[in-house]
Structure 1
């Protein structure tokens, strides 16, 4: 009889494989286009950064979580546990940060040039690279504690209380204030989620007003998605709604794990939920972002063989 862990392991394997494939396709497409194709738009740099960090999220935790769910035990040493959890935590924070930057950048793009944000709108494309570097620096530094507390389950410690994470352990001093710790590491996430919600509401309002104005001038012949900016905004809003929903569900499950009884099935389910956004977001971009299709067609025109046509 197949156990629940085995079933979850198969789902994690499929999720990791397809998600990594989608993100790698997007990342490769943007990279090749950057060097050989048409010039990338500033927002495409954020999309490519999101694809990169989502790939790191999936590969850092998805592979090891799948191996654990399929029944492999004690396959990682102390250094491996530290690196896997550190890289996953950094990449997860960068995924949130990238989605937040996408919301802020697109909200600035939609703002009127006659508003007080006109100067920020002109400077926004130049700020993308420094902001991405700042996000990397912040998350690399603030997640250093993982290198201190994550251990291999085979390593014995006498003065700590061990919290089992299936294939690794978190060794936490008994005098450590867990509530304060959770609050501190959650503050950046809550801040970014708040920015995403506010900017998303602003974009919805701008799109609605634009739609009303266009319908008044041209009648009902034009749709809300008639402009590239509107299509890009709708894609970002879809990504944000996915991220916030999945993040909220995973946070509730994680809190339950911290306060209740931790079982292997719940740990695997938490990992599955945490990887849903990184696995699904590239396919949302491929399907809904016309710019991705444009880059793919431009790349195909450059590399297709003479006399070879698609029917």
Structure 2
């Protein structure tokens, strides 16, 4: 767990980058810091591993102030992924991955096994890639190596500072998928900085939207989209909509003329204004296959089947959408 308690960072020229910042990142959570340029998100992240020290306040990791850790102990237990990975050009992929484990005096067999495991996790066959040099890799492949190098010593925390922003759209999307799958498997505590709201909505457990060094709103992607706290949040998110917030009418059969509902005992109906998310909650315990969709006057305007809804759910899961 990472806790920011009344953190302020003021530079020598008088610029205040972060002011009275309070946030808790839970163990195993993927937390994204996002906001306009200059809002303090990168400064906030860099204070976790003491690349920058706060002017006021305290940051805790598992209840212990980061200032109480030795700098080496702190940084060896925090993986760090940058926009520009900067792999060591004279080292092979395997040697790049093994840098921190070797500094920690891991045995050779253990470091080699770890490198192979991590390459497998991101779909890079160790027998093909581990002896290659960075110059022999594409930009997306180099970025994958940068990510797994940060994971090599099995740190509890991983910091990612706009790690995909220099990539082409196809490589970027594939890496987002890879990191999402990897996080589901290894469940690290991740603090992720990006300027891309679509990326934040796709990958995060929670999003912390910042402005002028302070938290404007923090919550799940669905919470920010459904309940923006002010005009700034609404404008920053834009017109994006979770697939789960679409109307249930988009997946129902539309060939039914409005007719009065013939109420039956224990019959579950779905209001026409319901979202897919609401419909999902309604059908969970229902013992029926067809669900009348009713308007405000309790007239049937359509029928949606369990199979139609489940097909939609599975399709969205396959495409990476998350549901509350």
- Give the structure with the higher percent helix: 1
Report which of the two structures shows the higher radius of gyration computed on alpha carbons: 2
Bin of the TM-score, shorter chain as denominator length: under 0.3
When normalised by structure 1's length, the TM-score is 0.24
When normalised by structure 2's length, the TM-score is 0.24
- Give the structure with the higher percent strand: 2
